[in-house]
């Protein structure tokens, strides 16, 4: 659905020299250096997948999204969205995609949100039934009516982002590109936006490509992960496989009877080499253990032998820690110390 083949985007950055004469000399000499924002990227996001595009600031995420949406043309390499090369067929591509740039508005600044929606309805020739269905959904999930007749420029960032996400999905695009879509939203609104994206993707099979610094967005929405660093894709896998590589596992145990919590902690640490335990409350402890050293089964066996267990569950592995390991290349996810 979305594919990149050796995609490269370079920018010419003109060196500015100090002072007026400096500025004038740059005007004439045009000395520049090249910044490689996207450096030979290849990947494929299958139809219906929800992929996270993750990387530090300046890693090249937004530039990749601009190439895929046809806003920019690549320096070399190719990319395709639903079989089209976006920068060659911008209009046809636009009919297939929705785009949100958290940092920049797609809406008409002086118009109320609902007027922007009416214009989009005409541009995309959205059938009545589709328009009505989607507006009803946005009313329910995003409280869209509350934005009413206020011009977009007077909306708060949170209100505007709600409108942006809705606008990007209005024409039932086959793929949607969301670049930092929850920037500036409070938790309740973030969840509403996540719910909307997941709903649309599961109902219509919409392919999603999401960049976000919000690990909550990524785990709530995405099933595929691409990690970019300095313009290169350094990791691609399913979210499931990525989280499975977490080196450290954690399980929380709740028990009816057993040794007092301090003793329980000591027991775990003495019997499971490399594991650590912490008291959650009077009937629960959290056990963390290195996955390469102990299997969950072994940990369970020890606990069952000493406790009258009534519940246990594994909290989600920490995505942030797993990602840090990819960046630093260290197994424990800690930064190499100086
Ligand atoms: N229009 C531009 N002109 C020059 N350099 C740019 C331009 N757009 C982006 N860059 C540079 O390209 C790199 C990647 O930028 P970007 O794609 O915005 O990263 P991200 O979205 O991952 O933070 C950065 O070093 C950035 O400064
Ligand atoms: Mg960006």
Per-residue pLDDT, 85:
96
Which own/partner pairs from 23-31 qualify as long-range (CB within 8 Å, at least 24 positions apart)? none
User: Closest Cα to atom 4, ligand 1: which residue?
Assistant: 11
Residue 17 has pLDDT above 70, yes or no: no
Average pLDDT over residues 257-279: 84
Average pLDDT over residues 263-279: 87
Query: Between 246 and 312, whose confidence is greater?
Result: 312
Query: Between 338 and 196, whose confidence is greater?
Result: 196
Question: 209: CA distance to ligand 2 center in Å?
Answer: 13
Ligand lying closest to the C-alpha of residue 61: 1
pLDDT digits (tens, 9 = 90+) for 38-91: 999 999 999 999 999 998 888 999 999 999 999 999 999 999 999 999 999 988
Query: Between 148 and 309, whose confidence is greater?
Result: 309
Per-residue pLDDT, 223:
95
Residues 288 and 256 sit within 8 Å (Cβ to Cβ): no
Who lines ligand 1 at CB under 6 A?
Answer: 11, 13, 35, 37, 55, 57-63
pLDDT band, residue 125 (cuts 50/70/90): very high
Tell me the range of 145-159, 208-222, 240-254 where mean pLDDT is highest.
Answer: 208-222
Instruction: Choose the weakest-confidence range: 18-32, 121-135, 219-233.
Output: 18-32
Question: 4: CA distance to ligand 2 center in Å?
Answer: 18
Ligand lying closest to the C-alpha of residue 101: 2
Instruction: Name the residue of 35, 101, 213 whose CB sits within 8 Å of the most ligand 1 atoms, as the mutation to test its pocket.
Output: 35
Query: Between 198 and 247, whose confidence is greater?
Result: 198
> What percentage of the chain has pLDDT greater than the value 90?
44
Per-residue pLDDT, 27:
62
Instruction: Choose the weakest-confidence range: 29-33, 70-74, 152-156, 165-169.
Output: 29-33
> Of all atoms in ligand 1, which is nearest to the CA of residue 57?
23
Per-residue pLDDT, 329:
67
Ligand lying closest to the C-alpha of residue 100: 2
Ligand lying closest to the C-alpha of residue 228: 1
Question: 241: CA distance to ligand 2 center in Å?
Answer: 26
Per-residue pLDDT, 338:
34
Per-residue pLDDT, 336:
44
The CATH class of 2-243 is alpha beta
> Of all atoms in ligand 1, which is nearest to the CA of residue 65?
17
Residue 331 has pLDDT above 70, yes or no: no
User: Closest Cα to atom 25, ligand 1: which residue?
Assistant: 58
Chosen CATH of 247-316 out of 3.60.21.10, 3.40.50.720, 3.30.70.1560, 3.90.226.10: 3.30.70.1560
Per-residue pLDDT, 332:
46
User: Closest Cα to atom 16, ligand 1: which residue?
Assistant: 60
User: Closest Cα to atom 10, ligand 1: which residue?
Assistant: 37
Ordered by start, the domain boundaries in the chain are 2-243, 247-316
> Of all atoms in ligand 1, which is nearest to the CA of residue 62?
21
Residues 64 and 237 sit within 8 Å (Cβ to Cβ): no
Residue 269 has pLDDT above 50, yes or no: yes
User: Closest Cα to atom 5, ligand 1: which residue?
Assistant: 11
Residue 15 has pLDDT above 80, yes or no: no
Per-residue pLDDT, 337:
41
Tell me if domain 2-243 and domain 247-316 are identical in fold: no
Residue 204 has pLDDT above 80, yes or no: yes
3-state DSSP of the chain: CEEEEEEEEEEEEECCCCHHHHHHHHHHHCCEEEEEEEEEEEEEECCCCEEEEECCCCCCHHHHHHHHCCCCCCCEEEEEECCECCCCCHHHHHHHEEEEECCECCCCCCCEHHHHHHHHHHHCCCCHHHHHHHHHHHHHHHCHHHHCCCEHHHCCHHHHHHHHHHHHHCCCCCEEEEECCCCCCCHHHHHHHHHHHHHHHHHHCCEEEEECCCHHHHHHHCCEEEEEECCEEEEEEEHHHHHHCCCEEEEEEEEEECCCHHHHHHHHHHHCCCCEEEEEECCEEEEEEECCCCCHHHHHHHHHHHCEEEEEECCCCCHHHHHHHHHHCCCCCCCCCC
pLDDT digits (tens, 9 = 90+) for 275-304: 888 888 888 888 888 888 888 888 888 888
Residue 6 has pLDDT above 70, yes or no: yes
Tell me the range of 6-15, 35-44, 264-273, 322-331 where mean pLDDT is highest.
Answer: 35-44
User: Closest Cα to atom 6, ligand 1: which residue?
Assistant: 11
Instruction: Tell me the average pLDDT of the chain.
Output: 87
């Amino acid at each position: 659905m979305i594919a990149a083949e050796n995609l490269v985007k370079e920018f010419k950055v003109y060196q500015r020299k100090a002072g007026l004469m400096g500025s004038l000399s740059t005007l004439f000499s045009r000395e520049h250096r090249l910044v490689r924002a996207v450096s030979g990227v290849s990947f494929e996001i299958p139809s219906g997948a929800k992929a996270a595009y993750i990387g530090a600031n300046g890693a090249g995420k937004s530039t990749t999204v601009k190439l895929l949406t046809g806003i920019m043309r690549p320096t070399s390499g190719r990319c395709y969205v639903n079989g089209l090369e976006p920068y060659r067929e911008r209009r046809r591509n636009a009919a297939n995609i929705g785009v949100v740039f958290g940092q920049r508005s797609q809406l008409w600044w002086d118009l109320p949100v609902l007027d922007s929606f009416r214009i989009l309805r005409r541009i995309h020739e959205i059938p009545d039934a589709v328009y009505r269905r989607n507006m009803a959904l946005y009313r329910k999930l995003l409280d869209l009516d509350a934005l009413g007749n206020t011009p977009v420029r007077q909306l708060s960032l949170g209100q505007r982002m709600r409108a942006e996400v809705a606008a990007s999905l209005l024409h039932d695009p086959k793929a949607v590109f969301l670049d930092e879509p929850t920037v500036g939203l409070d938790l309740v609104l973030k969840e509403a936006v996540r719910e909307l994206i997941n709903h649309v993707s599961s109902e219509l099979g919409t392919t999603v490509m999401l960049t976000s610094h919000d690990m909550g967005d990524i785990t709530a929405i995405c099933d595929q992960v691409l990690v970019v660093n300095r313009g290169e894709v350094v990791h691609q896998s399913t979210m499931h496989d990525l989280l499975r590589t977490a080196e450290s596992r954690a399980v929380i145990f709740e028990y009816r009877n057993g040794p007092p919590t301090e003793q329980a902690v000591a027991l775990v640490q003495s019997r499971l080499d490399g594991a650590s335990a912490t008291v959650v409350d009077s009937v629960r402890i959290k056990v963390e253990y290195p996955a390469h050293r102990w299997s969950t089964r072994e940990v369970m066996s020890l606990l069952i032998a000493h406790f009258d267990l009534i519940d246990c569950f594994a909290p989600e592995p920490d995505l942030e820690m797993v990602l840090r390991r990819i960046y630093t290349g260290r197994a424990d996810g800690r930064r190499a110390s100086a």
